[in-house]
Structure 1
Amino acid sequence: MANRYELLRTISKDCYGVLQMMRDVKESRTVAVKMIECMDEAMVNKALREAMILLELKHPNICKYKEIFVGWNKEDAALSVCMVIEYSSVGDLAFIIRDKRRRMEKVREMVIKNFLGQMVDVLVFLHSKNVIHGNLKPTNILLMQDLSFAISDFIVPTFIKDEVKFKIRMKDDEKTWMAPELAEGKVNSKYDIWSTGCIILEMMMCSKISVEIYFQLLSQKEKEFKQVVQAIKIDGKQLEPILEELHTKLKYTSNLCDLVQRMMEQNDEKRISAVEMVELQYVKEALIICNSSLTGRKRSPVGLMNVPYGADIDKLLVYMQSGIDVEEVQIPALKYMVYLMYEAEVLMASARIIPVLITLLNCHPKCLEIQAYVCQILLKFAIKATELSVEDGILFSEAVINIVLSVMESQRKCVDLQVVICKLLMVLSGSEAAGKLIGQANGIQSILMTLRMYIDYSHICIPCCGAIWSLVTNKGNARTAQLEGALETVWQVLENHLQNGDVVKSACSALWALSLEETLSDAQFEDITLLLIQAFDLHIRKENSVKNICLTLSSLIRMSELVAFRILVPDMQHDGLKVIKESYYIHQTDAKVVQTICMVFLDMVQYEDVLPDLISQKVDKLLNEIKIKFASNEDIVTVVNSTLLKLQTIDGKSENEGSKTSV
């Protein structure tokens, strides 16, 4: 589940200077003054009346307007509407985007989802009062000291409608995020929706891959975001292939891409509204993350969150325990703890931190945000434990496993939280004892339920299949998985996501582990083999996919001779043996890949009926070539020698039969 902690995590990693500044800033309040020059007195009076509404806007995500008055500029002989704005930010969204683009790094979807929730919340508020911002862009979205966003620099309608003055005063770059209907002089609440969608698109297009995407699709000479938007404004169909590439190559979810498509609909009458967005499940999750009042929860009282920033972890734990049942205490404390997770001493303090986290999950069974923070922290601890080869302790205990599975069950509809929990279970099950506990607590059933619910979501299929692979190495778990029909489900995952190399790699690992315990029919063996050959052909250049497919094929070959024949006999589209041989020449410098390829041949030669076909296809010559090339690799040489020895028996038989015929 996308959460505010990811924003903190990203900023703490990439913008440390900003965070350091935050730590030094005390409760200082500064103001900024915005001036809108108007030559016409009637226009000034009208703009002043419109601007006065801004004084009444009280919302956590809106910079407060303190004063609005009319001024006189002697030099230009011009009247101005002056707006005094409370300004206490530590930067703006434009800084984060520029920094990410400079590094050519992806902005994670969790960050975007957090931003989306806050923007929908504030736009519903504004539009309910018939107020339009009119000038949403990254520089007008400020990052506040608590890492929330606040919008500033509203444009009063009179200023927008004065087309001549508007075009003169607004620079071309500033119009990038403005909706296409601006050219027709139309301004309504849908105007802000386009701008927000445009900002989200910009956040999605910071990485090197995304730059290449629109450079390729739009054939732009200069790789600038404003050119992308200009092309989309001219032809709305340009947006669809960009979003498709962002979904395929950068793994942004289809829900996010579809939402951006609806927000940047050229026809403002067909464009989704802020109120309509609230009804979407993806947006509902985003609103929960940012503690929006639209979810029905009350906002945290101002001044309650006195987290001991800068203190050591033990003082933070004391603070958390003092208000263990108060959400307003725990949420900012957990957010700060996520930031501290980058420090080694915090990672080593798991024995003191985890009991508090368990208590929090027990005390707040309905608070999605607390559950998300806690599971993310537990995952970080689990990854660190794996790096240190630690397989015991409180992290791997029944208490942790039971409460995590309870959260998994209660928050089944929160996709991103399910992803985090599946990753956590996958890592924990690396411990034999923890894997057994997960199985006893019905963890296999819970993971399969999540997988079946979200079988079309690639980003959840990967950790689910990974968790299944890790868990079924335990005999008891393997039997449970068999009874629950895990193999058929993973098979369906592979079929649904055959084009996705990451899913193929994860699903094949699970299939390999599951196939060791399954009893399949001939038809199932044939169908799975054909599917694996097809996946092999599609991802032949990806070493990890090739290794996992070869391991799965080897396992299936040992179970049925039909699999070996299915590899040898090409169908109209795929030739299994040809694909395997080609994969060797592609990966011939990777010993691990070569070894798995050799294992397929070793398992095939256990069936005498396939030996003649392997000889006719000159597999023996390929194996001799591998033997020479990897003469110093004992593992590969042993496998090759065993395979060649078996192949030589068919040559011996052929010679004997030839001698008898001569006699």
Structure 2
Amino acid sequence: MESYTVLEQLEPGALGTMLVVELKTEKEGAGRKYVLKQAMDLLKLQHPNICIYKELFITWDNKISSLFLCLVMQHSSQGDLSSLIKAKRKKREKVEDMVLQKFLGQMMDALFYIHKQNVFHRNLKPSNILLTDEVSFMLCDFSVDTLMTDEMKWKIRVEEDPDSKSWMSPEALCFSFSEKSDIWSLGCILLDMMTCFFLNVKETNSLLRDIRKDTSSLERVLTLMQKGNKDTLPLSQILLMMLQIQPSMRPSAKDLVDIPYVMECLALAGSSLSKQEKTLPSAILDVLLEGGIGSVLEFMQTYWDIEQAQAKAIKRLASLLGEENALMYLLELLDPVTCAMRTHIDSLELQLDGCRLLLDIIGQALQQNVDVEMLVGEEGINSLLKTMRTYSENEELLSMICTLLMMISASEMAAEALRKAGVITDVLSIISNFPQNRQICLSCSGILWSLAVNVETGSG
């Protein structure tokens, strides 16, 4: 079977990008059945970090007597990862550690998902990863190489444009694919992102080609990077595993998600994989949480990645907040609570309990004339906004978050952080969705008032 593609960008506002695959084969029945099955599998993919396919249809072209498979996929106008790398390379700037970690977390989550469906990307590279914002990425362009079965045509493509295949694994160049091939490609992309501030395009392509035969050049580059930044050590160790020449020596996505550093990246990305098999028996949890506020805070730090532990700790803190010595801990409480909410964003119960606790903490702090700026930093504000946007239809939770934001927006620092994060649009949307909820409307009005007052104060 040969697969020809015509990529056509539809007008803004249309469904998306249409991919057309021409089907030609000597054994037409078997070839077409294979392609149709693979295309149907692509249509079933539903993941936040995968560019989804919206529609599939088959058409016949009478002029050339050929059958075409048409796939309409989600479209993004934000650019792709190659443009981000190019911009960083031009300025000789490093890709920020947080961006690298979130990228790895999101891509591992996506690869774990597709490999579980027995789908391999086959041509993973920076231009096939879309940007949806500064730290959000989506795999795209599964179709052509995923559907191709013509080995000769594949090898011709590789020979015609070797640079575009720099990210491919050694075995993939020989038309042998598995989930390990995608792991190699992801490792190459990470290496490209990590070295773009000191390697140019030619040097990078040369490095990616060299490591297919000998990984000594990779080790030299990683050693050079570690001299300037010891923080790259965990990621360097991951790269050495991902870029093993022999596929049998390479980890699978399932293997990688069990590595503590990758687990941290998955947690930053909000992946449910970061919570797999992370539980403690209830009896042990109860014993560990018998102490006072200080011991509970230590417990939260130790078991930050276990949702059950964080949920129980928040409930325990709520029960201890009325004790006399609680006042001395007020400045220490908000960070661990907002961190738990951010890490376990998928748990509605934890978000509700967390907001109730935050209201109590900030209420007590204000009564004691504690400066709000000492309580709530930018990360805490961003955590609240993330919860608000994730649960934009939950009236009970929104009511509490809006009250919290109103309480802290009196601070000039908080008001500026909220304004930069685009909270005005969120607030107006909430008022529009819940005009009958008096508490929400009052809190939202209070937020807008604080932002307006702080703008005037700042300009004055």
Q: Same fold (TM over 0.5)?
A: yes
2:151 aligned with 1:172, yes or no?
no
2:204 aligned with 1:225, yes or no?
yes
The residue aligned with 2:438 is none
For residues 14 and 272 of structure 2, what CA distance do their matches in structure 1 show? 26
Q: How many residues align?
A: 287
Q: Is the 8 A contact 2:21 2:144 kept in 1?
A: no
Give the structure, 1 or 2, with the largest relative contact order (CA under 8 Å, sep 6 or more): 2
How far 1:270 sits from its partner (Å)? 0.7
SS in 2 for 1:200: helix
* Residue identity opposite 1:200 in structure 2: L
The residue aligned with 2:16 is 31
CA distance change for structure 1 residues 360 and 129 in 2, over 3 Å: closer, same or farther? Answer: same
Please show how residues 64-143 of structure 1 align to structure 2 within 5 Å.
Answer: 64-72=52-60, 78-143=66-131
Please show how residues 227-306 of structure 1 align to structure 2 within 5 Å.
Answer: 227-296=206-275
Return the structure number with greater strand share.
2
2:139 aligned with 1:151, yes or no?
yes
Please show how residues 616-627 of structure 1 align to structure 2 within 5 Å.
Answer: none
Name which of structure 1's ranges 89-98 and 256-265 shifts more when overlaid on structure 2.
89-98
CA distance change for structure 1 residues 29 and 294 in 2, over 3 Å: closer, same or farther? Answer: farther
For residues 21 and 245 of structure 2, what CA distance do their matches in structure 1 show? 29
For residues 56 and 173 of structure 1, what CA distance do their matches in structure 2 show? 32
For residues 196 and 29 of structure 1, what CA distance do their matches in structure 2 show? 31
Please show how residues 605-616 of structure 1 align to structure 2 within 5 Å.
Answer: none
The residue aligned with 2:179 is 189
Q: Is the 8 A contact 2:21 2:68 kept in 1?
A: yes
Please show how residues 455-470 of structure 1 align to structure 2 within 5 Å.
Answer: none
SS in 1 for 2:173: helix
CA distance change for structure 1 residues 107 and 251 in 2, over 3 Å: closer, same or farther? Answer: farther
For residues 275 and 97 of structure 2, what CA distance do their matches in structure 1 show? 24
CA distance change for structure 1 residues 253 and 155 in 2, over 3 Å: closer, same or farther? Answer: same
For residues 153 and 286 of structure 1, what CA distance do their matches in structure 2 show? 24
CA distance change for structure 1 residues 164 and 121 in 2, over 3 Å: closer, same or farther? Answer: same
For residues 362 and 110 of structure 1, what CA distance do their matches in structure 2 show? 19
For residues 259 and 192 of structure 1, what CA distance do their matches in structure 2 show? 14
* Residue identity opposite 1:192 in structure 2: D
Q: Is the 8 A contact 1:30 1:88 kept in 2?
A: no
Q: 1:206 pairs with 176, 196, 203, which one?
A: 196
How far 1:236 sits from its partner (Å)? 2.6
How far 1:50 sits from its partner (Å)? 1.2
2:367 aligned with 1:367, yes or no?
no
How far 1:205 sits from its partner (Å)? 1.3
SS in 1 for 2:247: coil
For residues 106 and 100 of structure 2, what CA distance do their matches in structure 1 show? 10
Any stretches of 5+ residues in structure 1 without a counterpart? 1-26, 212-221, 298-326, 328-355, 372-392, 405-663
For residues 67 and 105 of structure 1, what CA distance do their matches in structure 2 show? 40
CA distance change for structure 1 residues 168 and 234 in 2, over 3 Å: closer, same or farther? Answer: same
Please show how residues 454-603 of structure 1 align to structure 2 within 5 Å.
Answer: none
SS in 2 for 1:364: helix
The residue aligned with 2:39 is 51
1:422-442 deviation line (CA, Å, top 9, x unaligned): xxxxxxxxxxxxxxxxxxxxx
How far 1:149 sits from its partner (Å)? 1.2
How far 1:127 sits from its partner (Å)? 1.0
For residues 29 and 36 of structure 1, what CA distance do their matches in structure 2 show? 20
How far 1:104 sits from its partner (Å)? 1.4
Name which of structure 1's ranges 102-111 and 69-78 shifts more when overlaid on structure 2.
69-78
The residue aligned with 1:568 is none
Please show how residues 444-463 of structure 1 align to structure 2 within 5 Å.
Answer: none
1:143-172 deviation line (CA, Å, top 9, x unaligned): 125852111111467744411122345632
* Residue identity opposite 1:32 in structure 2: T
Q: Is the 8 A contact 2:15 2:72 kept in 1?
A: no
* Residue identity opposite 2:189 in structure 1: I
Q: Is the 8 A contact 1:28 1:88 kept in 2?
A: no
SS in 1 for 2:212: helix
Q: Is the 8 A contact 1:135 1:155 kept in 2?
A: no
Any stretches of 5+ residues in structure 2 without a counterpart? 1-11, 277-306, 308-329, 346-369, 381-460
* Residue identity opposite 1:248 in structure 2: K
For residues 97 and 88 of structure 2, what CA distance do their matches in structure 1 show? 14
How far 1:63 sits from its partner (Å)? 1.2
1:9-52 deviation line (CA, Å, top 9, x unaligned): xxxxxxxxxxxxxxxxxx95641012233321342332122111
For residues 131 and 146 of structure 2, what CA distance do their matches in structure 1 show? 28
Q: Is the 8 A contact 1:364 1:370 kept in 2?
A: no
How far 1:100 sits from its partner (Å)? 0.7
CA distance change for structure 1 residues 166 and 207 in 2, over 3 Å: closer, same or farther? Answer: same
Q: Is the 8 A contact 1:159 1:166 kept in 2?
A: no
SS in 1 for 2:78: coil
* Residue identity opposite 2:23 in structure 1: C
How far 1:69 sits from its partner (Å)? 2.9
How far 1:294 sits from its partner (Å)? 0.9
For residues 400 and 54 of structure 1, what CA distance do their matches in structure 2 show? 44
Q: Is the 8 A contact 1:161 1:185 kept in 2?
A: no
How far 1:267 sits from its partner (Å)? 0.5
Q: Is the 8 A contact 2:234 2:261 kept in 1?
A: yes
1:582-608 deviation line (CA, Å, top 9, x unaligned): xxxxxxxxxxxxxxxxxxxxxxxxxxx
How far 1:124 sits from its partner (Å)? 0.9
TM-score by length of 1: 0.40
Q: Is the 8 A contact 1:287 1:295 kept in 2?
A: yes
For residues 153 and 61 of structure 2, what CA distance do their matches in structure 1 show? 17
Q: RMSD across aligned C-alpha pairs, in angstroms? A: 3.4
1:60-113 deviation line (CA, Å, top 9, x unaligned): 111111122334456765443321101134111111011111111111222111
Q: Is the 8 A contact 1:136 1:196 kept in 2?
A: yes
* Residue identity opposite 1:39 in structure 2: K
CA distance change for structure 1 residues 237 and 60 in 2, over 3 Å: closer, same or farther? Answer: same
How far 1:249 sits from its partner (Å)? 2.8
SS in 2 for 1:33: strand
How far 1:239 sits from its partner (Å)? 1.4
CA distance change for structure 1 residues 158 and 77 in 2, over 3 Å: closer, same or farther? Answer: farther
Q: Is the 8 A contact 1:361 1:370 kept in 2?
A: no
Return the structure number with greater helix share.
1
For residues 271 and 135 of structure 2, what CA distance do their matches in structure 1 show? 15
How far 1:370 sits from its partner (Å)? 9.4
For residues 44 and 365 of structure 1, what CA distance do their matches in structure 2 show? 51
